Amino acid sequence: MTAQYQTINPATEAVIDTYTLQSDAEARSQLDATHQAFLKWRDTSMPERGKVLKAVARLLRERKDDLCALMTEEMGKPIAQGGAEVELCASICEYTADNGADALADEARELEGGRALVTYQPIGVVLGIQPWNFPLYQVVRYSIANLMAGNGVLLKHAPNVWGCALALASVYRDAGLPDDLFAVLRIEASQVAALIERPKVRGVTLTGSPAAGAKVAAKAGECLKKSVLELGSNDAYLVLHDADIERAVATCVQGRINNNGQTCVAAKRFVVVDAVYEQFRDAFVEQMAAIEYGDPTDPDTQLGPIARKDLREKLHNGVINSIEAGARCVTGGEVPDGKGFFYPSTVLENVQPGMPAYDDELFGPVAALIRAKDDEDALRIANDSRFGLGGGIFSRDEARAVRMARERFDTGMVNINGYRLAQPQLPFGGVKDSGYGREHGGFGIREFVNAKTVMIVD
């Protein structure tokens, strides 16, 4: 019997659609077709590739309402937040189209007795394994750079957002991308290893958990193939002694509940120095407690459901285990009755090492308050993590905050006095258990190309 997968609306628990999974043979056949499409695409000029990417941007904006509704239906994103994701995707397409040729331009180098050049050439089919939390952006982030570089792209998306995957594939096709150059695989995680082993897969990129990243990286390494990993984190936001508390509170609340708290680079641990701890805590808890979860299709809703039932259970277990280890829940922390996988905005205080709220990534609207003795202690606590994706610093002394971020904050990205997500022109990625490699900003387009040396002897 052919295996099937049902997508579930996390707000209503209603079945959205039923998909038939592809066999290993069908996945291999799609890989072969994508490889054949790549062989033609690599000879397409940069300007022609750029035209297709510009058309993708235009269609994303034209179909924004439908795409937003689909994201809300499949993973519960508040409808008011979907437009920003679509716009980010369109901006990535435009930035890559405008700057890709320069990022991959041949470079002249000196050579005794002649001359040399370094040229950046496509390598083949890149397999992307992507999560559900930003169902359009996660795909656009890796696929657009690789398409501009001349590669073919396969997508193994999270099954609960297969509708979004197929909708994006339709946008690419309608924008003029050749058939099979970008293809969606409806396969299970257990089928990925065999696909990585295929010679026509030349690179692998994954966004997901450290455990999933370790497995994919091990298989890619076994097959001598490059991988890029963007994994989880428990980003620390430091509130220093001279912070603008009103600004810090408002920013940290939004940084914690955006996308229902299901963001790898969300603000998660709030490290507040003793001098301003009570002031920050009282205002922060008040604002978090005032946030009500509700129907994600309502434009006024700030907090929708967790994407799946099992994910809500994992989140709640992290909260309960932290409380049992000594944390104090000051608001939220209880699974509500009724339909939907909702979880209230939650604040845990007295969070210490050894607790899930301190050590792990709680993927939902749960904030961990951690008290620091002073500014130096706050930075120590921030770096006391196996993760290193992002983080933030709030201080009126901007120059000092920048120095701390630049020289001592052990993460891939740092916000100063604000909270920003990915930007097309800036590198995105982390260190330690948050992965390796970079995307965006001209960095991602060079991850899966052959930096080839050509030496011309006079």
- Choose among 427, 434, 377, 394: nearest CA to 411: 434
Enumerate residues 6+ apart whose C-beta is below 8 A from 324: none
Contact 130, 155 (CB under 8 A): yes
Angstrom distance (rounded) from CA 76 to CA 97:
31
CATH superfamily of 4-232+433-457: Aldehyde Dehydrogenase; Chain A, domain 1 (3.40.605.10)
pTM greater than 0.85: yes
Tens of pLDDT, residue by residue, the chain (458 residues): 578 999 999 999 999 999 999 999 999 999 999 999 999 999 999 999 999 999 999 999 999 999 999 999 999 999 999 999 999 999 999 999 999 999 999 999 999 999 999 999 999 999 999 999 999 999 999 999 999 999 999 999 999 999 999 999 999 999 999 999 999 999 999 999 999 999 999 999 999 999 999 999 999 999 999 999 999 999 999 999 999 999 999 999 999 999 999 999 999 999 999 999 999 999 999 999 999 999 999 999 999 999 999 999 999 999 999 999 999 999 999 999 999 999 999 999 999 999 999 999 999 999 999 999 999 999 999 999 999 999 999 999 999 999 999 999 999 999 999 999 999 999 999 999 999 999 999 999 999 999 999 999 99
Residue ranges in 325-453 assigned as alpha helix (H):
356-359, 375-383, 398-407
Residue 185, exposed/middle/buried by CB under 10 A (0-12, 13-18, 19+)?
buried
Angstrom distance (rounded) from CA 429 to CA 279:
33
Q: What is the CATH number of domain 236-423?
A: 3.40.309.10
Measured distance between the N- and C-terminal CA atoms of the chain, rounded to whole angstroms = 66
- Choose among 192, 152, 162: nearest CA to 70: 162
Residue 248: CA count within 13 A, CB half-sphere: 29
Catalytic annotation, residues: 230, 264
Q: Hey, what amino acid is at 336?
A: P
Going from N- to C-terminal start, the domains of the chain cover 4-232+433-457, 236-423
* Alpha carbon 452 to chain centroid, angstroms: 30
